[in-house]
Structure 1
Amino acid sequence: MFFCREHGVKQFAIFGSALREDFGPESDVDVLVEFEPGRTPGLLGVAGMERELSDLFGGRKVDLRTPEDLSRYFRQDVLDTAEVQYAQRG
């Protein structure tokens, strides 16, 4: 996936309502990413990535998170249910 290579993403996964039956026309897309060492973007970089992904997902709002961003109260549930779409080889 070009987006992942361009942005130093080691792993790209979808989680949340996009994987459930309650996903509808107004639903956002929740994305979980892990970055290569030294490639984690700042806040403006993340916002740019969300806009780029929104274009790829037909204009839907995208919430991009890393495992560290997730609340400890539901982090493990997200990690257990997220569906990996891209994983860097090697």
Structure 2
Amino acid sequence: MQDDTSRSPTYVAFMTRDDVIARLKALEPQIRAHGVAALYLYGSYARDEAGPDSDIDLLADFDEGRDADIMDFLAPYEALEKAFPGIEIGFSTRDRLVPVYRPSIESSAVRVF
């Protein structure tokens, strides 16, 4: 019987909320360089209920008064994808959240930095 690491070259061992937060904090300087003032983890990883098919849901607050452009999203997103190979990343801002879900997301989100 083969272990799960033989499935694909992008396999990532299961991670806990604390594992994800530690890896995100290591990326803080790189993410802040693109105007992200605060980063929050929400969803199954924030609740520490993630399974093998879970994505990592992130909410970013950009520097006040900054009009974030596509590069402000793309550069941090690419860094996140590299840091979490094989795991889908959901990356949004507050005003881009689905309005009906926004209060629940904001109340359950865990601040990373």
TM-score bin (small chain): 0.7 to 0.9
- Number of matched residues? 85
Aligned residues: percent identity? Answer: 25
TM-score (norm 2): 0.65
Write the distance in 2 (CA, Å) between the matches of 1:75 and 1:28.
18
- Structure 1 contact 51–62 (Cα < 8 Å) conserved: no
Write the distance in 2 (CA, Å) between the matches of 1:67 and 1:82.
11
Write the distance in 2 (CA, Å) between the matches of 1:8 and 1:21.
28
CA RMSD of the aligned region, Å?
1.8
Q: CA deviation at 1:74?
A: 1.0
Runs of 4+ in structure 1 over 6 Å off: none
Structure 1 residue runs without a partner (length 5+): none
TM-score (norm 1): 0.79
Write the distance in 1 (CA, Å) between the matches of 2:34 and 2:67.
7
Aligned to 1:17: 44
Write the distance in 1 (CA, Å) between the matches of 2:85 and 2:108.
24
- Structure 1 contact 33–64 (Cα < 8 Å) conserved: yes
**Are residue 78 (structure 1) and residue 109 (structure 2) matched?**
no
Rg bigger for which structure?
A: 2
**Are residue 41 (structure 1) and residue 64 (structure 2) matched?**
no
Structure 2 residue runs without a partner (length 5+): 1-27
Aligned to 2:59: 32
